[in-house]
């Protein structure tokens, strides 16, 4: 999983832009039913109304990126106007958060093995003591 991690932000905002988080929350809320890029785009722009407008191309790019990273999946359906993709969650929010944590830990362990392990052990010991 590839993303930029911003420690200054909170929650999913650490790795997602506001419209991306809104798009994912919308798809998660569909509980497996799925939605096309148009429905996601309309929802996101409705949710961000008065803040800013997001292009449909940005939504499609994000949905496809999340598909490549295994967060979403899609099926192609044929209907009026041709073929389109219906996106569904492959990972729920908890699974996505866990994938983020795994990616961050893997990266830290790769580049800072000793320091990361020391910090994990120190944090674990502090939590056990109740500090």
Instruction: State pLDDT tens for residues 34-77.
Output: 999 999 999 999 999 999 999 999 999 999 999 999 999 999 99
pLDDT the model gives residue 79? 83
74 CB-near residues (< 8 Å, 6+ apart): 34, 63, 67, 85, 86, 87, 88
* pTM tops 0.75: yes
CA–CA gap between residue 43 and residue 28 (Å, rounded): 13
CA–CA gap between residue 56 and residue 70 (Å, rounded): 21
Q: What percent of the chain has pLDDT over 70?
A: 100
Q: In the numeric block, which tokens belong to residue 75? A: 């099926």
Residue 72 pairs in a beta bridge with 89
Q: What percent of the chain has pLDDT over 90?
A: 91
């Amino acid at each position: 999983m590839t993303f930029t991690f911003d420690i200054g932000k909170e929650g999913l905002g650490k790795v997602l832009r506001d419209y991306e988080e809104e798009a994912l929350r919308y798809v998660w809320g569909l509980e497996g039913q799925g939605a096309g890029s148009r429905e996601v785009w309309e929802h996101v722009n409705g949710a961000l109304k008065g803040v800013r407008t997001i292009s449909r191309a940005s939504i499609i790019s994000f949905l496809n990126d999340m598909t490549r990273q295994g967060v979403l999946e899609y099926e192609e359906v044929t209907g009026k106007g041709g073929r389109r993709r219906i996106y569904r969650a492959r990972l729920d929010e908890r699974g996505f958060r866990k994938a983020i944590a795994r990616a961050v830990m893997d990266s830290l362990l790769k580049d800072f093995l000793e320091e990361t392990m020391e910090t994990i052990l120190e944090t674990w010991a502090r939590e056990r003591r109740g500090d």
